[in-house]
A and B are shown apart, each in its own frame.
Chain A
């Protein structure tokens, strides 16, 4: 009864073009925000923050970024790990070079630097398409990881080759470093995620988002009707890398605290984020959240079931996890190539007609 357009009269153009046209969706949206901002921080403990919430928030940002490039603009990228590394190392260099500037500005700047790097690696996309491009983005992945390993300027000549986040404060509360409270980690990631999601939502609704989707659906046709492919593809690469850079900076500074580039930002990370948007749904913001939540929760759930309940050895559960993730991806692609987001869409369609579907 609640979920329908009927009776919800719009009286202004603004109301007519708002993000959530259905009243129930708007209430749900505000309810989620209120719970996330005002309830969860008081209950979050170290285990929940470290194992589930903070990685979920950070991967959701990365998934939104990759979804803009792959889901909305149709350019498959396997370089996510490399771009996250750019964000992390840019953030580290900024944090250590300008210790007096707020970390929030550093993270945003790190996103900006990643956007520039991403746009540079996006240049070949104007000539190369499809699989060839996917493989070409691997060049970014391997080159960037190699560079952060070899050029010691990036890790301030530290002997271990690791980078460690120094302690930084936002409004007097530690958000990086060893003394960070779980709720502070959670809050800073949540704020960034909310802003990123808002930006992404509005970008994809507007002119630029439409030009991305036109390029995705058929680039030659889009070019003929007047979409500039250079601009569309490069902005997609830049915006996507901006988000991925922010997530990389948060991943390093807030979540891990200390990072070794090959381990934290290897090719596995690229695949992980790609799986998130496939399982979640290409070309859908909700899908980015759903996919990130799914792939963050799955290993935790498997560990709880396999190791804690059944008492199996850890390595066996890790192998099973590979099998299950692989099988799930194939299952999803066969049964629902549009991912969890499509299930959600179908549920909404059904709800609209409920209880009289005819």
Chain B
């Protein structure tokens, strides 16, 4: 097999891995959109906030230290202890659940029945708010996430595949972290599906997604389900934040992955969990392949910034509801 062909395959594999990470963010969007019709733009910032909180708790940082110092003239910054990772993750999940409750209680409870576009804009406001709170609480410097996740290329994969090509081929380079992320994503999706299928809360969640009023009339509490869904989205955001944070450091640009998840959603359809995953794969592979074959040699590179959007745009012109979305029926 020629080396170019093998590199192509390597690009596809890496694209699939990147796609899994996009799908992780997109999953959070789909959960909230299905249950409440809210298109949650703040999902990316939630991932950033969750990752920041995790790092902050692990390092024993004092929340809002900067603000407290400015107001009271003190100079506190750390409690002076280190929290073990498991406990820190547990505490972060609690913070995300509290956040979900607060969002539901203070914002979206008052916006029930508003037009979807108003809800969307409210989530943009929420994204700004949360970004500011994250910075205020934990500071805005770049952090490293020391969870002990494996890093770097996998030597095992390289050695196994070394024999496929000629002398100038050294085997596939695949980041170990991406492999872990793929595994975690699979477990997460399996867990979510099991939760939705086999638990009482999950069934209630699906009922709400199906029809709000019918769900209300059989005694399901909408506000409870919404808090539940936002909490789940917060946990998904934590996982996405940890994976992206381990990859490129916990910093502001983490919140921009939400923008990457949007074309994934468009492609897969806003209401479909399998759509989010397949869409993520298509976008991941598509943009890596495009960059490899056309972008970098002919267009000057960095085409990943926009290719996903263009792909989704062209796709939508032919199929406006996305791959797996519900058929849009419009009535006057």
Contact = CB atoms under 8 A, between A and B. Distances in A.
Contacts of A274: 121, 124
Which size bracket describes the interface of A in this complex?
Answer: 35 or more
B305 A322 contact: no
B193 interface: no
Contact of B259 (A267, A310, A319): A267
Contact of A221 (B111, B128, B332): B332
B132 A323 contact: yes
Contacts of A312: 70
Interface in A43-91: 76
Nearest to B319: A127
Interface in B110-142: 110-111, 114, 116-118, 120-122, 124-133, 135-136, 140
A159 B241 CA distance: 37
Contacts of A322: 128-129, 131-132, 135
A150 B270 CA distance: 32
Interface stretch (A8-16, A96-104, A180-188, A328-336): A328-336
A351 interface: no
B267 to A, nearest CB: 10
B317 A124 contact: yes
Contact of A330 (B39, B107, B299): B107
A132 interface: yes
Interface stretch (B184-192, B229-237, B308-316): B308-316
B223 to A, nearest CB: 16
B312 A135 contact: yes
B71 to A, nearest CB: 8
Given A127-B316, A139-B313, A323 B129 contact: yes
A329 B111 CA distance: 13
A232 interface: no
Given A136-B316, A322-B131, A325-B128, A316 B116 contact: no
A166 interface: no
Given A135-B266, A139-B312, A330 B317 contact: no
B125 A138 contact: no
A321 B133 CA distance: 10
Contact of A329 (B116, B125, B259): B125
Nearest to A143: B306
Contacts of B127: 326
B255 to A, nearest CB: 11
B284 to A, nearest CB: 17
B125 A330 contact: yes
A145 to B, nearest CB: 8
A327 B125 contact: yes
Which 7 A-B pairs have CB atoms at the shortest separation, nearest pair first? A326-B129, A322-B132, A329-B125, A326-B128, A139-B309, A323-B132, A142-B306
Chain A CB within 10 A, most for which of B125, B131, B320: B125
Interface in A220-272: 220-221, 224, 267, 271
Interface string B255-289: 00001001101100010000000000000000000
B67 interface: yes
Nearest to B127: A326
B154 interface: no
A21 interface: no
B313 A124 contact: yes
Contact of B140 (A271, A278, A319, A337): A319
Contacts of B317: 124, 127-128
Interface of B: 39, 66-67, 70, 107, 110-111, 114, 116-118, 120-122, 124-133, 135-136, 140, 259, 262-263, 265-266, 270, 299-303, 305-306, 309-310, 312-313, 316-317, 320, 322, 328, 330-332
B103 to A, nearest CB: 10
20 contacts: A127-B316, A128-B316, A131-B39, A132-B320, A136-B316, A139-B313, A142-B305, A151-B300, A275-B124, A316-B70, A319-B135, A322-B129, A326-B126, A326-B128, A329-B122, A330-B107, A330-B126, A333-B121, A333-B122, A334-B107
A188 B263 CA distance: 40
Nearest to B128: A326
Interface string A308-321: 00101101100111
Contact of B316 (A132, A218, A329): A132
Contacts of B313: 124, 128, 136, 139
B128 A143 contact: no
A149 B300 CA distance: 10
Nearest to B115: A337
Interface in A276-335: 278, 310, 312-313, 315-316, 319-330, 333-334
A4 interface: no
A129 interface: yes
B306 A323 contact: no
Interface string A176-201: 00000000000000000000000000
Interface string A333-358: 11001000000000000000000000
Contact of B309 (A127, A135, A337): A135
A134 interface: yes
A131 B120 CA distance: 9
Contacts of B133: 323
A131 B124 CA distance: 13
A64 B107 CA distance: 28
Contacts of B67: 316, 320
Nearest to B103: A330
A189 to B, nearest CB: 27
Given A319-B135, A319-B136, 20 more contacts: A127-B320, A132-B320, A132-B322, A139-B309, A139-B312, A143-B309, A146-B305, A149-B302, A313-B66, A319-B140, A320-B67, A320-B132, A322-B128, A323-B128, A323-B129, A325-B125, A326-B125, A326-B129, A330-B122, A334-B122
Interface in A104-135: 124, 127-132, 134-135
B66 A316 contact: yes
A131 B321 CA distance: 11
Contacts of B263: 135
A132 B318 CA distance: 13
Contacts of A131: 39, 116, 120, 270
B287 to A, nearest CB: 12
Given A139-B312, A220-B332, A315 B262 contact: no
